[in-house]
Amino acid sequence: MAVFHIEANGTDMGCYHADSASEALDIYAKDAGYSDYLEVVEQFGDNTCVTRVDTARLCRVVSERLNALVMQDAYGNGVALVDGKSVLTWDDMARLIGRKVWEFEA
pLDDT at residue 10 tops 90 = no
Record the pTM.
0.86
Q: Are residues 7 and 41 in the same domain?
A: yes
**Largest alpha-carbon pair distance within the chain?**
47
Instruction: Tell me whether residue 105 is in a domain.
Output: no
Q: Are residues 31 and 9 in the same domain?
A: yes
Q: Where would I find the beta strands (DSSP E) of 1-106?
A: 2-8, 11-18, 48-53, 70-72, 80-82, 85-87
Q: Which domain holds residue 92?
A: 55-99
Instruction: Tell me whether residue 34 is in a domain.
Output: yes
Cβ atoms < 10 Å from Cβ of 86 = 14
The pLDDT confidence band at residue 47, using thresholds 50, 70 and 90, is: confident
Rounded to 5°, angle at Cα 2 from 67 and 58: 15
Report whether 25 contacts 17 (CB < 8 A): no
Q: Are residues 9 and 25 in the same domain?
A: yes
